[in-house]
Structures are given as C-alpha cells and as structure tokens.
C-alpha cells in the first residue's frame, strides 16, 4: 500500500489549475508517466527546469549570446503577418539602441500579437537568442510584458521544456499549485549524509528548484537539484538491489542438454560465428546450466548477431525439454526476429511461432494450443505474449529485446508465465559502462563487440542542406546502380503527427524526382500500410524508403547501401548510429549522409564529427554521454539519463557509487525496510515509480 502521506502527490494532474483534457495529453508526452497512468501532481514537480530566466542580467541585442536565454528591452517597429497561403511564420521587427531583432511566431493569432506588441511601444521580451542567417531572432518568446508588468516579475524564474499544446505559463501555474499542496514528508536520507552534503530536505529542495531566488537554486550542480537527483539515484539502486535479491539470486532450474540442436544450427550456418558471439554463447550457456536463475544483459551493436546468440540459448533450453519466448517492442521488430529465427531454427527441428496484437482469432487459438501442448518451442511476439490467455507448457527462457521500451511490470508478467524462467535481455543500444550500473545493476553483462565477417565499412559524410539537389542527384545514380536508399526525416517537436507531416513532405518531393520508386513509412500508418511499404522496399520495387525513426530497429535489407539522415543536428548520437546500422549489412560499399542545417552549434558539430570518425557503438555512446547526458541512449529523450528524470550523467554520475553503497548497507541492516528509516525509504521508492520493488518485499 502506498503511504497515505503521498496521496496529494499522486492525485491526477487535472486537479491542478490550467490542466484540462487537451493539456493533460500534452503533459503526458512531456513527463512520460508510467505506462497506462495519467500524469500526476508528482510528475509536474519532478519536471526539471531546462534553464532559467535571469532578469537581473539584461543584455542589449548586440551583447546577447546566441543560444542563451535573455531578457531584452525592445521597441516594436513593424508587424509582418504570415502570407495567407504558405508556411512562413508571423514576424515582429524590433530594435534597441544597439541593433535589431525579430520575434517569430508560428500559427500566430494576429489580433493577440497586435494587442501584445503595439508598434512604437516598449516591451520586455525573454526567450532563447537564435541566429537566422545574419538576423538575430527569438522564436516564441517565453514572455512579453510592459514596464509595469516587468517590475512585478520575479528576478529569477525557471524555464521548462515544452511540447506542442503546452504553454510555459500553464506549467508555471500548475507547478505553483503543486508546491502549495506539497505535504511534509518523512526524511529518508541519513542525517550524516545530509550534513556532509549540506542538503536541504526533499520538499525544500523542490521549492528552491521551482521558485529560485538566485540562479544557483535551479542549477543542476546546485544543492537543491543534487539533493533530488541523489534521491532518485538512491531509489534506483534500492530497487535494483531488491529486484536482484528477490528475483535474480533465487534457485532456478538447470537447463542442460546433449548439445545436438546447438550443433545442428552451427553446422547449417553459411558463416563462422565471431569470437564475441562464441564468448557470449558460452557465458549464457554456463548460466543456463547452473542451478541459479540467469538474469543477463546481451549488448551488441546493430547487426552484430545478437538474435543468433539468443537462438543458441533457446536451442539449449529446448534440449532440456522447455520452451522460450522472445518479446520485442514493435511488430516490425517482432517480425524481423521471427524471420531470423525461422531461417536457422529449422536445421535443429525447432518450431517457431509469431504472436502479435494483430493476429486473427483463429491464428491466436492455434498459437495458444501449440504453446500449451509444447508443440511450439519458441514464441516470438509483442506485448501480446504476456496477455492473460497465453499459457506455456514449460517456459524456460524469456528473451526481452530493447528492454528499456518495456516496464518492469511487463518483464515480470512474462517471467510469471513459467516456473522461474531464465531471463536474457538484449539491446542494440550501446550503453556506456557508467550507465550500466544505473540501468542494469541487477544483471550480468555479455558484450558482442565484433562485427560479423563480410560487413562493409560505412563512409559517413556531413553535408549542408544547401546541397540538397546534389544529394538527390546522387540518390538517382545509386538507384540506377541497383542500390536501395533510406531517407530518414527529422524529429519535430517530439510530436509524432509533425514527424509524419515532415516525412510526407519529403516523400512528395522525392516522388516527383523518382516517380513510382519511393515508399513511405511513419508511426501513424496502420500496420498493413507499413508492411506494404516495407515489402515494396525489401523486394526492390521501390528502391527509396522515406521514413521517420520508426525504422530505427527491426528492418534488415542487405541491398540498402545509402542512409540519408535529414536535419541530423536534431538527432542524438546514439540514435544516428543505430540508423546508420541499417546500411552496410551486405558486402557492397555503403554511405551515410548527415544532412544538416548551417550554422551548426558546437555540440551538434562535435556529434557529427564523432559519427564521421567512428563506427564503434560503445565509443560513440561514451562520447554521447559526455556531450549531452546520454538521454538518447533510449532514442527519445534528448538529455538526462534513461529512466531518470532529475539525475543528469554529466553532473550527477559522481553520486552513483555513493547511492549503490548506501542501498547495499541499508538493505543489509533492514532487508524488508520495516524500520523507521525503512518506512521513509518506501515513500522514496513510490515517489520515483520504483514501487515494483515494494511489491517484491510484500510478496516475500
């Protein structure tokens, strides 16, 4: 049971002023609450500021740094409304004594802007300074006020990340109400730790973060943020320790056999396994043979041969008379795994079945019967695998691909389909060693750090968007040469609808250049349309595939030799590396073109340089962590640590070892968290959505 003191924090966010039905959807995209849960008050409080407005520092236009948040006193000169037909934004031209600046608004309400920015009047405007050609501009300012209003504003104010349909003023209003209702919480940190680190209590830290008096109050390296970040790291390490104690270090079932099926698969392979694959197979095989339950992470770059390693483990499990299940996050990826496994499993007489949410009633019934009778050795599927009516005769091994896309509940639900099944988690995301501790501290790790023989190197080049015509011409030559081309469209404002619109625009343009030779895939299509587009591309009928990042995982076309990533400056390093891994899968030379919009910022330039210099996913992941915080390890969030809201790798990683040691010592002294501090730590686990660990305690 969640402690009652936390109830105000777990109330629906719609109870806060300004958060209605539409705003709630936008808020959900921003704060990403646990799956199936509507945003709550705690989600608003744990939305970290992305910067501050420091009204004590008011540069002139000439002195304002590009990329910085600034508050500037401007005189309004002229309005330039958007043309009736076209996508040009609404612009307002302004000046001060040192230069001129343009305010830019997309989808603007002209009457509102005319009232807010009357020509000839002075206004204080705050927002991020951008360079557009030789012009200085602010796109969608954070606020616009007159002299009288400006005098009433706080000297320091946090700025929050936003998404389509959510205004900063709405977040500030909701956050203020949430802070007002913040209950007095029990202190879970040891007094010695708080004293040594000079930390405020949790509630005070949140108040300082969201109502800073000085810039340091809302800075990631400040005492308030570090306190909350450490709380989150401690919750994570406590949960991992509890999961490991309750579900990992338990008696399993030794899965041994005569190796006949494994040898049959090896003998039928038209190539040799790499040394890294053989090492991983041996490590997993030893785990399966032991009486202790296996919980292992298999890391390997895109195309390194993880699925084959998993198949060898499944063959060993089948030799022991048990079944295996492989769970993938998307239907595209599930089908890809099904094809790969089916291609090699037949040599060992293993039967493989595919289960997805799109199966017909007859297909589902047939699969269910085969799993219950034991006729099916390997089940591959999406979340449909762990729905209530799916039962296995004897589930011995659960393989989860791209673990970060599943909640722990889903992982445990599938594991609950068998009697203490072994667990193998696979990821194509190269995870830096520093992050392994925070994400997979409950697991042993195997790494495939070699490419299969015969894979071609990928020539990676950065090309400015001004040379788009040259790129299109080069694609024409590639098509004539019999090659296939991916064209990945930019990420737009974390909105799937806008991502799809960008892809449709590029599809239309390329279709004019290459009539009948272009397919389109994006996340808003239905499964049939997606499958048809992918099939046309795989079969060579349409040699160009325009796509959003939906193709990041699970598409294997050896004939594809060109990858174009449009607006590469908007993507994270790890994500671009995964996209690049879609080409270079055959023996023909391959190319990756990183199309960027000039001028590039320092970080974006560094990202593209690293990608051009290296194809080692693990090195790229380490560099990504240094550059921008590694959030993109998970593909969507742009900064921060995967699975974490407040803890930032570049700033707070130094506290992970401390959190791990404290979690270990705490559980040695109070393994069931029943003491006074233990009860307070249970509140901490709930606050950071690590309550699955509390349920494990309750279950014994």
Q: How far, rounded to the nearest angstrom, does the alpha carbon of residue 434 sit from its chain's CA centroid?
A: 17
Which of these three, 97, 118, 153, is where a domain ends? 153
Please, which pLDDT band fits residue 439 given cuts at 50, 70 and 90? low
- Asked whether residue 409 is domain-assigned, the answer is yes
Which of these three, 97, 122, 153, is where a domain ends? 153
- Do residues 419 and 283 both lie within one domain? yes
- Asked whether residue 605 is domain-assigned, the answer is yes
Average pLDDT over residues 115-124: 96
- Asked whether residue 483 is domain-assigned, the answer is yes
Please, which pLDDT band fits residue 474 given cuts at 50, 70 and 90? very high
Nearby residues of 254 by Cβ (< 8 Å), 6 or more positions away:
288, 289, 290, 291, 320
Query: Hey, is 164 helix, strand or coil?
Result: coil
Q: What is the pTM of this model?
A: 0.61
Please, which pLDDT band fits residue 654 given cuts at 50, 70 and 90? confident
Spell out the alpha helix ranges (H) of 200-259: 202-210, 223-243
Higher pLDDT among residues 409 and 314, named by residue: 314
In angstroms, the CA 569 to CA 490 distance is: 9
Angle 692-699-378 from CA coordinates, rounded to 5°: 70
- Do residues 377 and 266 both lie within one domain? yes
Residue 640 confidence (pLDDT):
44
- Do residues 328 and 471 both lie within one domain? no
**Cβ–Cβ under 8 Å, residues 336 and 330:** no
- Do residues 408 and 463 both lie within one domain? no
- Asked whether residue 67 is domain-assigned, the answer is yes
Number of domains in the chain: 3
pLDDT tens readout for residues 543-567: 999 998 766 545 678 889 999 999 9
> What are the backbone angles phi and psi of residue 391, rounded to the nearest 5°?
-130, 140
The CATH number assigned to the domain holding 484 equals: 3.40.50.300
Q: How far is CA 367 from CA 158, 371, 380, 415, 418, in A?
A: 54, 6, 11, 19, 17
- Do residues 384 and 472 both lie within one domain? no
Residue 548 confidence (pLDDT):
85
Spell out the alpha helix ranges (H) of 46-160: 110-116, 147-152
Please, which pLDDT band fits residue 159 given cuts at 50, 70 and 90? confident
pLDDT tens readout for residues 250-290: 677 899 989 999 999 999 998 899 999 999 999 999 999 99
Residue 636 confidence (pLDDT):
31
- Do residues 473 and 593 both lie within one domain? yes
**Cβ–Cβ under 8 Å, residues 286 and 460:** no
Average pLDDT over residues 173-185: 93
- Do residues 424 and 483 both lie within one domain? no
Q: Does residue 230 have a pLDDT over 80? A: yes
Sheet bearing 590-596, strands edge to edge: 458-464, 590-596, 560-566, 484-488, 544-547, 518-521
Q: Could you report how far apart the first and last alpha carbons of the chain are, in Å?
A: 15
Lowest mean pLDDT among 410-419, 497-506, 610-619: 410-419
- Do residues 587 and 495 both lie within one domain? yes
- Do residues 312 and 366 both lie within one domain? yes
Q: How far is CA 497 from CA 26, 262, 294, 507, 523, in A?
A: 13, 46, 41, 15, 9
Q: Does residue 59 have a pLDDT over 60? A: yes
Please, which pLDDT band fits residue 635 given cuts at 50, 70 and 90? very low
- Asked whether residue 472 is domain-assigned, the answer is yes
Closest among 657, 628, 655, 654 to 642, alpha carbons compared: 628
- Asked whether residue 46 is domain-assigned, the answer is no
Provide the mean pLDDT of the chain. 87
Residue 557 confidence (pLDDT):
84
Nearby residues of 550 by Cβ (< 8 Å), 6 or more positions away:
330, 332, 521, 522, 523, 530
Q: Does residue 52 have a pLDDT over 90? A: no
Closest among 171, 172, 169, 179 to 143, alpha carbons compared: 169
Residue 638 confidence (pLDDT):
34
- Virtual CA dihedral for 212, 56, 142, 15, nearest 10 degrees? 20
Burial of 346 (0-12, 13-18, 19+ CB in 10 A): middle
In angstroms, the CA 281 to CA 304 distance is: 13
In angstroms, the CA 324 to CA 311 distance is: 9
Query: Hey, is 49 helix, strand or coil?
Result: coil
- Asked whether residue 20 is domain-assigned, the answer is no
In angstroms, the CA 225 to CA 362 distance is: 54
Residue 437 confidence (pLDDT):
65
Q: Does residue 699 have a pLDDT over 80? A: no
Q: Does residue 33 have a pLDDT over 90? A: no
Which of these three, 614, 629, 648, is where a domain ends? 614
Which two structure tokens, joined as six digits, stand for 218? 């809302």
Tell me what percent of the residues of the chain surpass a pLDDT of 70: 90
The CATH number assigned to the domain holding 80 equals: 2.40.50.140
- Do residues 398 and 283 both lie within one domain? yes
Residue 403 belongs to domain spanning: 260-429
Average pLDDT over residues 166-181: 90
Angle 160-571-525 from CA coordinates, rounded to 5°: 95
- Do residues 478 and 416 both lie within one domain? no
Residue 526 confidence (pLDDT):
81
In angstroms, the CA 404 to CA 402 distance is: 6
HSE toward the beta carbon, residue 47, CA cutoff 13 A = 27
- Do residues 466 and 544 both lie within one domain? yes
- Asked whether residue 266 is domain-assigned, the answer is yes
Which two structure tokens, joined as six digits, stand for 231? 């709380």
In angstroms, the CA 398 to CA 295 distance is: 10
């Amino acid at each position: 049971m969640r402690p009652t003191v936390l109830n105000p924090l777990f109330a629906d966010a719609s109870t806060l002023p300004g958060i209605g039905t539409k705003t709630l959807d936008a808020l959900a995209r921003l704060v990403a609450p646990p799956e199936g849960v509507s945003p709550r008050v705690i989600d608003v409080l744990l939305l970290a500021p992305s910067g501050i407005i420091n009204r004590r520092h008011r540069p002139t236009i000439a002195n304002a740094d590009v990329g910085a948040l600034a508050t500037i006193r401007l005189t309004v000169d002229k309005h330039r409304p958007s043309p009736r037909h076209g996508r040009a934004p609404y612009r307002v031209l302004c000046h001060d004594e040192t230069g001129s600046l343009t305010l830019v608004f997309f989808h603007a309400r002209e009457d509102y802007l005319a009232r807010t920015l009357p020509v000839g009047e002075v206004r204080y405007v705050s927002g991020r300074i951008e360079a557009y050609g030789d012009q200085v501009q602010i796109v969608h300012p954070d606020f616009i006020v007159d002299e009288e209003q400006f005098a009433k504003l706080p000297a320091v104010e946090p700025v929050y990340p936003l998404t389509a349909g959510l205004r900063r003023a709405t977040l500030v209003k909701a956050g203020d109400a949430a802070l007002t209702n913040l209950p007095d919480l029990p202190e879970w940190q040891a007094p010695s730790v708080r004293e040594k680190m000079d930390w405020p209590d949790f509630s005070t830290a949140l108040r300082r973060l969201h109502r800073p008096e000085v810039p340091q109050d809302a800075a990631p390296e400040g005492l308030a943020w570090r306190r909350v970040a450490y709380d989150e790291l401690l919750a994570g390490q406590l949960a991992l320790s509890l999961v490991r104690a309750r579900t990992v270090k338990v008696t399993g079932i030794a899965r041994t056999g005569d190796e006949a099926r494994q040898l049959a698969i090896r003998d039928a392979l038209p190539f040799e396994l790499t040394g890294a694959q053989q090492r991983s197979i041996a490590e997993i095989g030893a785990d399966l043979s032991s009486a202790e339950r296996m919980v292992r992470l298999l890391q390997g770059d895109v195309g390194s041969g993880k699925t084959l390693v998993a198949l060898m483990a499944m063959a060993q499990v089948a030799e022991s008379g048990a079944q295996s299940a492989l769970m993938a996050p998307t239907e595209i990826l599930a089908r890809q795994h099904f094809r790969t496994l089916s291609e090699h499993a037949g040599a060992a007489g293993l039967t493989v079945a595919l289960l997805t949410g799109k199966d017909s009633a007859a297909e589902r019934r047939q699969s269910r019967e085969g799993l219950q009778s034991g006729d099916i050795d390997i089940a591959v599927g999406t979340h449909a695998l762990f729905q209530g009516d799916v039962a296995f005769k004897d589930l011995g091994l659960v393989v989860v691909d791209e673990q970060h896309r599943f909640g722990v509940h889903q992982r445990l639900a599938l594991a609950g389909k068998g009697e203490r099944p072994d667990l193998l988690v696979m990821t194509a995301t190269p995870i830096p060693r520093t992050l392994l501790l925070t994400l997979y501290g409950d697991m042993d790790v195997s790494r495939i750090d070699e490419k299969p023989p015969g894979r071609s190197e990928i020539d990676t080049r950065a090309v400015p968007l001004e040379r788009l015509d040259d790129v299109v011409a080069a694609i024409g030559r590639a098509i004539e040469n019999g090659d296939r081309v991916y064209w990945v469209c930019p990420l737009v404002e974390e909105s799937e609808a806008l991502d799809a619109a960008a892809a449709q625009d590029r599809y239309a343009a390329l279709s004019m250049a290459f009539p009948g030779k272009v397919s389109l895939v994006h996340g808003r299509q239905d499964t049939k349309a997606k499958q048809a587009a992918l099939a046309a591309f795989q079969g060579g009928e349409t040699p160009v595939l325009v796509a959003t990042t939906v193709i990041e995982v699970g598409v294997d076309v050896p004939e594809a030799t060109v990858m174009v990533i449009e607006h590469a400056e908007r993507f994270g390093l790890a994500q671009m590396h995964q996209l690049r891994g879609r080409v270079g899968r055959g023996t023909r030379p391959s190319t990756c073109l990183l199309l960027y919009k000039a001028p590039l910022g320092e970080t974006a330039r560094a990202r593209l340089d690293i990608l051009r210099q290296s194809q080692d996913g693990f090195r790229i992941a380490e560099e990504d962590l240094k550059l921008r915080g590694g959030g993109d390890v998970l593909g969507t969030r742009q900064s921060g640590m995967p699975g974490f809201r407040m803890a930032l790798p570049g700033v707070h990683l130094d506290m992970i070892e401390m959190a791990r040691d404290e979690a270990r010592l705490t559980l040695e002294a109070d393994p069931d968290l029943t003491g006074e501090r233990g009860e307070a730590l249970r509140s901490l686990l709930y606050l950071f959505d690590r309550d699955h660990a509390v349920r494990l305690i309750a279950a014994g």
